[in-house]
Chain A
């Protein structure tokens, strides 16, 4: 069973701190990294893959530094980068065969694995098509297929569901759930529903740090008493929307039912409700959203 240990990992890019003193211990299970764009998820994942070197700190796999393990570590690894690369003149099958060869999968096994992965990702019928003809969703599925080629013990997927339609998203979630036994699966996303039901542990990242970590039930429990519902009239709803983080807004007759995330009770008639993971995400990233909104306003 693999064990990954991150010991005070920090990464600087010139004057910017992308990852700040992150320490983690990952064993078998699905880990969902949630965070806004620029939170440092991709940088952290790249360091775990060995693509980027940390400015300080150490990453160990089964007690040995990953740089020392070199090829041994990379053989355990399956990685889907955010910007998934491919050779457009290759067919899907040739591309997977090429990557299987680079992953040191023996040739007879590679042929079987390629067909298995094409079947698993629903690309069997398109295996002879040039990749340049693939849609965004097909490319993402091809990316998932290549990550699984070597039956990796550590599977790292950066924004794996971007570009997938809802049906493909569900299919992907089921694939990941079925694979979780005996491996470490790390998913990075800013789409809460991608990890809510399949991750054993959620790690919320903000400004390069892990701000919250634990099972979904534990994280949502921590946010109890911070999520409220309130039936407001139209004018009040606009005012509330400006003052509080609103996770949902629904017209009900003449009024608007608001779901608000706030440390304090937003108004007298607001009632506390059970928080969802999306509410927790909003609670942690409301300033980020506000910052983005302000930027959008300035641009407009």
Chain B
């Protein structure tokens, strides 16, 4: 390439295309040293994408967490297959599955409690991936695990076909939503009791909610389905409100700092 400038000159090679600016080596090395110095002072920041953040959270889950999830899924598969073989009434199958679904959901949710325990919340709130985001990632993970169990139950037991997918989903989700709402509320209120087995015990206690519909024989009759639907909508709204309140409290910080 040839530059037609006043100050430029061609390199002494006899080749027109190898034209260069004259270089002052001293000034060049001085400028490079200045650039290196400025570059060494620069802090390079890394902004991980959401999948990387989720993966990093999963990598640091304790072994018990994966064991609990694996065992729950395994039991869910076995329970579905056994129910399908032993019981013919889809309503009975759904009732049993809904109770198990609630307990499984609370076992998964109990791992969120770990974030509030051991005084970690205050420190975690100051990290790049803060407490609020960590909770959202864990809820997402819990939600996916719950969805797998739900699909397993509906698919393997065939209750979805027998009762209709909408009705089966309603019977499964109503106790789950109410129990989850109560459990989340208790986890945040009783943070000192929300580590290890104590949070699991709390989850089982909240899971008792799921047993109430079984006490009424007629609860699973089709004429009561609208009641279930209303309870389902109310439970969903309550859970959304509970999550919103929880995240709002974390944002304000008072509840994190004051034990």
Cα–Cα distance between A72 and B121 once the two chains are bound (Å): 20
Q: A51-B253, A52-B257, A104-B48 are in contact. Are A85 and B128 (CB under 8 A)?
A: no
Would you give the shortest CB distance from A12 to chain B, in whole angstroms? Answer: 10
- Among A53, A86, A89, contact of B253 (Cβ-Cβ < 8 Å): A53
Chain B residue at smallest Cβ distance from A88: B118
Cα–Cα distance between A146 and B251 once the two chains are bound (Å): 23
- Among B62, B128, B253, contact of A103 (Cβ-Cβ < 8 Å): B128
Proximity bits, A1-20, B CB within 8 Å = 1, else 0: 00000000000010000000
Proximity bits, B55-83, A CB within 8 Å = 1, else 0: 01001101000000000000000000000
Q: A46-B253, A51-B256, A52-B254 are in contact. Are A74 and B128 (CB under 8 A)?
A: yes
- Residues of B within 8 Å of A, CB-based: how many? 32
Chain B residue at smallest Cβ distance from A107: B56
Q: Which chain A positions have C-beta within 8 A of B118?
A: 85-88
Whether a CB of chain B sits under 8 angstroms from the CB of A81 is: yes
Interface of A is mostly: loop
Q: Which chain A positions have C-beta within 8 A of B128?
A: 71, 74-75, 102-104, 150
Q: A104-B48, A104-B128 are in contact. Are A83 and B119 (CB under 8 A)?
A: yes
Whether a CB of chain A sits under 8 angstroms from the CB of B11 is: no
Q: A94-B60, A101-B60 are in contact. Are A79 and B123 (CB under 8 A)?
A: yes
Whether a CB of chain A sits under 8 angstroms from the CB of B43 is: yes
Q: A46-B257, A51-B253, A104-B47 are in contact. Are A81 and B60 (CB under 8 A)?
A: no
Would you give the shortest CB distance from A15 to chain B, in whole angstroms? Answer: 14
* Cβ–Cβ contact A53 & B60, under 8 A: no
Q: Which chain B positions have C-beta within 8 A of A88?
A: 118
Proximity bits, B215-259, A CB within 8 Å = 1, else 0: 000000000000000000000000000000000000111101110
Q: Which chain A positions have C-beta within 8 A of B141?
A: none
Whether a CB of chain A sits under 8 angstroms from the CB of B37 is: no
Whether a CB of chain A sits under 8 angstroms from the CB of B129 is: yes
Whether a CB of chain B sits under 8 angstroms from the CB of A105 is: yes
Whether a CB of chain B sits under 8 angstroms from the CB of A49 is: yes
- Among A72, A74, A83, A97, contact of B127 (Cβ-Cβ < 8 Å): A74
Whether a CB of chain A sits under 8 angstroms from the CB of B28 is: no
Whether a CB of chain A sits under 8 angstroms from the CB of B192 is: no
* Cβ–Cβ contact A98 & B60, under 8 A: yes
Chain B residue at smallest Cβ distance from A150: B128
* Cβ–Cβ contact A153 & B43, under 8 A: yes
Q: Which chain B positions have C-beta within 8 A of A72?
A: 45
Would you give the shortest CB distance from B259 to chain A, in whole angstroms? Answer: 8
* Cβ–Cβ contact B129 & A102, under 8 A: yes
Would you give the shortest CB distance from B213 to chain A, in whole angstroms? Answer: 38
Cα–Cα distance between A102 and B253 once the two chains are bound (Å): 19
- Among B119, B127, B258, contact of A102 (Cβ-Cβ < 8 Å): B127
Q: A53-B252, A85-B120, A86-B118 are in contact. Are A75 and B45 (CB under 8 A)?
A: yes
Would you give the shortest CB distance from A136 to chain B, in whole angstroms? Answer: 14
Cα–Cα distance between A77 and B127 once the two chains are bound (Å): 8
Whether a CB of chain B sits under 8 angstroms from the CB of A266 is: no
Q: Which chain B positions have C-beta within 8 A of A86?
A: 118-120
* Cβ–Cβ contact B126 & A77, under 8 A: yes
* Cβ–Cβ contact B130 & A101, under 8 A: no
Q: A51-B257, A85-B119, A85-B120 are in contact. Are A104 and B43 (CB under 8 A)?
A: no
Whether a CB of chain B sits under 8 angstroms from the CB of A99 is: yes
Q: Which chain A positions have C-beta within 8 A of B62?
A: 89
Q: Which chain A positions have C-beta within 8 A of B134?
A: 102
Whether a CB of chain A sits under 8 angstroms from the CB of B4 is: no
* Cβ–Cβ contact B43 & A151, under 8 A: yes
* Cβ–Cβ contact A74 & B130, under 8 A: yes
Using a CB–CB cutoff of 8 Å, the interface residues on chain A facing chain B are 13, 46, 49-53, 71-72, 74-75, 77, 79, 81, 83-89, 94, 97-99, 101-106, 146, 150-151, 153, 182
